[in-house]
Amino acid sequence: MFINLFQTLKRLGVPVTLNEWLLLQNALSENLADSSLTRFYHIARAILVKTEAHFDKFDQAFLECFGHIESDEDLLRNIEEKLHRMPPLELTEEEKQMTLVTFRGGKWNIDKYLAEAEKVPPMYRPRMKTHEDLETFVDNMLTTHLLEAVARKKGLMNKKEVVQRLRSDKNKTLAKLFLQKGLPEKDTTVTDEQIQHYYQENIDWYTEPAKVRVWDIQLQTKEEAEEVLKQIRAGADFNRLAREKSLRIWAREKDGDLGYIDVKHYPSIAAAALEMKPGEIGGPVKDHDSQKHSIIKVGDTQPSKQKPLEDLKKSIKLNILRQRDDQAGKKRLEELRQEYGVEIFTEVLESTLTTPKEAA
């Protein structure tokens, strides 16, 4: 999912580099986002976007990559609302006829520009705060218009691959519109009982796990970790050894302090720490991802807590409505399959595979 964000940004023209991407990965490994989509959004934008001119493209990419996530945060809805927001223009007929751009064989007046701009999906309309923003937007639209005119003039519309591509796009659009129009009128009523039921069924989504304050000294091998623990038991200072020996570079300056961690982000370390008493030092604890070993010191514990239902009602209602849309779409498709007698011969499909399916 995260690599999709990187690729989408590059496709949209945001100049992100591998170094910036690695920096973001490092920030995530340090749990700076703390499982929050909003925090991840702000961290990713701060690292990957160098200028405010690319903020809208970042928002567009973020929405493309993460818009499907069911979240109790308002971030995605706020982004979508902002991208769809285009202030209306109140112009006189005289102003609408003012020439905006000329080219060989034609010109665009303000009215033509507004008509073309309306064809652009709202989320792709940039935020135009300066004259340069407007000029860039008009230039991009005009470039597309000119390229289309040249392509038609050269007969590309009759090329086999173009015809096939257009037919495919047309069929997909028709199918999508038919499915939307063929659904029953949307019921937007969601009762408090339904919200309560959804909340209870997905209580894990709305429960923050217990957290524990941990300091660690990360070492390459179990033997190294056991030797460090032996030194600490003999009176060596934990903080000094963390600064000198820990492989977790970002935590060295903080005497190995990882902050309050949970089992979602530090599975083995947090699990071990939650079984220990405040002030206790133990280990080695093996991190199954990095295969490294840690000596840990435990601080206080924060118990798990549920997010209150009252704060989640709005987002839960939206999730319920999304589920209804999905279920209605699937039901309609199944009805169409039955109506037209659709039957897929899986054995024929399997016989076309390069590697035949192994016999059970």
Handedness of CA 31, 34, 40, 43 (dihedral sign): negative
Strands 106-109 and 281-286: unpaired
Spans of all domains in the chain? 2-84, 93-158, 207-305
142 in Cβ contact with 112 (< 8 Å) = no
pLDDT digits (tens, 9 = 90+) for 328-350: 888 888 888 888 888 887 777 67
User: 343 Cβ partners below 8 Å, 6+ apart?
Assistant: none
**How would you label 167-190 residue by residue, b for 16+ Cβ within 10 Å and e otherwise?**
eeeeeeeeeeeeeeeeeeeeeeeb
At residue 307, the 3 state secondary structure works out as coil
Kindly report, residue by residue over 153-196, the tens digit of the pLDDT: 888 888 888 888 888 888 877 777 776 666 667 778 899 999 99
User: What span, in angstroms and rounded, lies between the C-alpha atoms of 116 and 129?
Assistant: 19
Largest CA distance in the chain: 89
pTM across the whole model:
0.44
H or E element in which residue 212 lies: strand 211-219
Query: Does 283 or 136 have the greater pLDDT score?
Result: 283
Instruction: Say which residue the tokens 């818009």 belong to.
Output: 67
Mean predicted confidence (pLDDT) in 34-42: 68
Q: Give the pLDDT score at 360.
A: 45
Q: Which tokens go with 249?
A: 């570079």
The confidence score (pLDDT) of residue 83 equals 45
End-to-end CA distance of the chain: 34
Query: Residues 228-256: pLDDT tens digits?
Result: 999 999 999 999 999 999 998 888 889 99
Strand partners, 106: 103
Task: Look up residue 34 and give its two tokens.
Answer: 């703390």
C-alpha count within 13 angstroms, C-beta hemisphere, residue 172: 6
Residue 82 has pLDDT above 50, yes or no: no
Average pLDDT rounded to a whole number, residues 111-120: 73
Per-residue pLDDT, 215: 96
CATH architecture type of domain 207-305:
Roll (3.10)
Q: What are residue 109's phi and psi, to 5 degrees? A: -95, 180
The better pLDDT of the pair 77, 137 is held by 137
